[in-house]
Amino acid sequence: MTPITYELKKTCKQTGARLGRVHTPHGSFDTPTFMPVGTLATVKTMSPEELAEINANIILSNTYHLWLRPGEDIIKEAGGLHQFMNWNGAILTDSGGFQVFSLSENRHITEEGVHFRSHLNGEKLFLSPEKAIQIQNALGSDIMMALDECPPYPAEYQYMKSSVERTSRWAERCLKAHERKGEQGLFGIIQGGEYEALRKQSARDLISLDFPGYAIGGLSVGEPKDVMNRVLEFTTPFMPSHKPRYLMGVGSPDSLIDGAIRGVDMFDCVLPTRIARNGTCMTSNGRLVVRNAKYARDFAPIDKNCDCYVCKNYTRAYIRHLIKCNETFGFRLTTYHNLYFLLKLMEQVRKAISEDRLGSFREEFFEQYGFNKP
């Protein structure tokens, strides 16, 4: 019996989007939704109270990083990740696969698993499906991810085919190694690159293993947005409609809307928190680089259409000053606003779906944000 269930509430008449609700041992959340990324057991500069305040219901943490520092044994001893970081909402942990493939040099993939060197001190490491599950079982996350290979973009058909088949074999090994089936849900990750036949094969292999939810991997890895949208268009129909669909690594406002239109329910991305730390904010009129000199005497809020705590109490001039002085409070303010902006956007997307007008909402939002500008 899986502790992760999905309720399909409604499908938008104007698009392929859907309203749903995911239930986990640490609370439920409406979908489509955005999940802030808390790589090292913290959403950088945000307190759990602030995350709750902006209605973040589920956050991500990275298996690979927590395995290296502080080590899953310490977190297990603390009573698990929720206890360790004092977060009572839901947590999704990735398998670490992507970090290994993107962070580490001279990695070597075998049937057994991935051999690579630590990005911290270069020591030799080995991650297998069983190890990835053992770490996530120790962390006690609500949603775990199977260990997959996220191939580089672009990749040859033949390479992609054998990679998909190995990812499917690894998924089965993950299921077998999963010790806490009643307490933690495990999602399979559909790969296959931009090849429809391989996406179909990957989906069919994983669906036969009956996971409670499925992620779409191998995207947001440098491919053009129209390629991502095309792959989503032919992949989501292969996925069960009564289970959550999670698109990994996607977080710009246009991609969130276009992903929701194509039937995606869950998204994660470091974008909002990462650009916040270099002084860039998302606003209803596009990106605003608040460290820019032109805001030195601008006493308006980051976004006059935003009702967040930051936009109600602080000005562009003040936040610019803090960022220029490398003051931590400045990064806290830009991060808080960016996360609020994306979570609010997903709330507007859910409302548009409930009113069968997500297509029209897309046009209005793209126009105002400036996505249509040539």
Ligand X SMILES: CCOC(=O)Nc1nc2cc3nc(NC)[nH]c3cc2c(=O)[nH]1
Residues recognised as catalytic? 94, 268
Residues 196-225 that bind ligand X (CB under 6 A): 217-218, 220-221
CB of 257 to ligand X, least distance (A): 17
Binding-residue pattern over the window 145 to 164 for ligand X, x denoting contact by CB under 6 A: x--x-x--------------
CB under 5 to 8 A by kind: which of ligand X, Zn ion, none does 91 bind? none
Closest CA to 31 of 83, 81, 90: 90
Q: Is the peptide bond before 237 cis (omega within 30 degrees of 0)?
A: no
Q: Which residue's structure tokens are 């730390």? A: 277
Piece of the chain touching Zn ion by CB under 5 A; list 42-50, 187-195, 284-292, 301-309: 301-309
Closest CA to 320 of 281, 301, 299, 292: 292
Contact between 316 and Zn ion per CB under 5 A = no
By beta-carbon proximity to ligand X, the closer residue of 125 and 221 is 221
Question: Which of residues 89, 188, 249, 263 is near ligand X by CB under 6 A?
Answer: 249
On the CB side of 105, how many CA atoms lie within 13 Å of its CA?
5
Q: Which residues make beta-bridge pairs with 6?
A: 22
CB of 197 to ligand X, least distance (A): 18
Piece of the chain touching ligand X by CB under 6 A; list 12-20, 44-52, 95-103, 283-291: 95-103
Q: Residues touching Zn ion: how many (CB under 5 A)?
A: 5
Question: Which of residues 22, 248, 264, 339 is near ligand X by CB under 6 A?
Answer: 248
Binding-residue pattern over the window 55 to 94 for ligand X, x denoting contact by CB under 6 A: ---------------------------------------x
Q: Between the CA of residue 200 and those of 234, 239, 322, 374, what are the distances in Å?
A: 9, 9, 50, 35
Phi, psi angles (nearest 5°) of residue 281: -115, 150
Residue 201, sorted as left (phi over 0), alpha (psi -120 to 50) or beta, turns out to be: alpha
Contact between 95 and ligand X per CB under 6 A = yes
Closest CA to 334 of 304, 311, 307: 311
Angle between helices 157-177 and 129-139 in degrees, nearest 10: 50
Q: Contact positions toward ligand X, by CB under 6 A?
A: 94-95, 97-98, 145, 148, 150, 189, 217-218, 220-221, 248-249
